[in-house]
Copies of this chain bind each other. A is one copy, B any other.
């Protein structure tokens, strides 16, 4: 609190000075403290990589290929520490706060969940493959998926359980290819996702050359045409929750590991 008060006093002193002189100054200084980053400043990964991560979450940085090299340790610490779980908890809790306000009746209310980094975690894979710094390796990643050993994301699982108890129906909609349907179903079940209406994987022939936004929008449209009402939609990628038929509310789970357009 003392530190905050010191900042405040410094800030107000600075602003006061500026107001007095603002006829002569074109640029006010609202940041009295020296920036620790940027040209001429020392690079502080905790500050800069945190900015990178938030810019990814808020969809300011798009179409990125890999995590910046200098943020590998930051991302690793984030993913393995408290903050990733706390962030996941907040988003899922908000989903529950929303769902419990709804008036559900006829059993046609659907929540769409993505799978990777939404309901199942590939952290055991990414932890041994550079936390997103290494370029995506389809062969290695598919070998990991084919083990069917991805753990549940516990905070999403809590939301899932609460939704099932409320009577909300569940659909999984994933970019995983159709050929991984059996192992994915097995993995979901063993991780604790027992109950769902739909498990939709990507028909890679039908959607050849299409983006994730196009594929997922098209599949959600089919769901709505079948009479489902998408009341919620959770994903770790913006491509899970943008496009058409996105659902009444969308929830963006944290993912600083990779980007899917």
Q: Which residues of A contact B (CB under 8 A)?
A: 1, 3-4, 7-8, 11-12, 15, 18-19, 22-23, 25-31, 33, 35-38, 44, 47-48, 50-52, 54-55, 57-61, 73, 76-77, 80-83, 85-87, 89-91, 94, 121, 123-124, 127-128, 147, 149, 151-154, 157, 190-192, 250-252, 254
Q: How far is the CA of A49 from the CA of B11 in the complex (A)?
A: 22
A87 in contact with B51 given A35-B82, A191-B27 (CB within 8 Å): yes
Q: With both chains docked as a complex, state the minimum distance between the C-beta of A218 and any C-beta of chain B, in angstroms.
A: 22
> A76: which of B7, B57, B151 is its contact (CB, 8 Å)?
B7
In the complex, A89→B27 CA distance in Å? Answer: 16
Nearest-neighbor residue (CB-CB) of A28 within chain B: B151
- Nearest-CB residue, chain B, relative to A19: B149
Cα A27 to Cα B150 in complex, Å, equals 11
Minimal Cβ-Cβ distance residue in B for A254: B54
Complex formed: what's the CA distance from A89 to B11 in Å? 19
Task: Determine how close the nearest CB of chain B comes to the CB of A55; give it in whole angstroms.
Answer: 5
Closest chain B residue to A95 by CB distance? B60
Q: Which of B15, B31, B55, B147 contacts A154 (CB 8 A)?
A: B31
For A86, give its contact among B47, B121, B157 (CB under 8 Å): B47
Q: Is the CB of B149 within 8 A of A22?
A: yes
Q: Which of A35, A54, A57, A192 has the most CB of B within 10 A?
A: A54
The answer to whether A27 touches B157, judged by C-beta atoms less than 8 angstroms apart, is yes
* Residue pair A37, B192 in contact (C-beta under 8 Å): no
Complex Cα–Cα for A145 and B68 (A): 40
* CB-based contact A12/B124 at 8 Å: yes
A36 — which chain B residues lie within 8 A by C-beta?
A: 82, 86
A3 CB contacts on chain B under 8 angstroms: 77
In the bound complex, how far is the Cα of B27 from the Cα of A190, in angstroms? 8
Complex: A127 Cα to B28 Cα, angstroms? 16
Check B252–A73 contact: CB distance below 8 A: no
In angstroms, how far is the closest chain B Cβ from the Cβ of A241?
9
Nearest 8 A-B pairs (CB), nearest first?
A28-B151, A51-B90, A26-B192, A7-B80, A57-B58, A15-B124, A51-B86, A30-B151
Q: Could you tell me the distance in whole angstroms from the C-beta of A38 to the nearest C-beta in chain B?
A: 7
Residues of B within 8 A of A4 (CB): 73, 76-77, 80
| Chain B residues whose C-beta falls within 8 Å of the C-beta of A250 in the assembled complex | 59
Closest to A157 in B: B27
Closest residue to A16 on the B side, CB-wise? B124
User: Looking at A4, A35, A57, A86, which has the most chain B CB atoms within 10 Å of its CB?
Assistant: A86
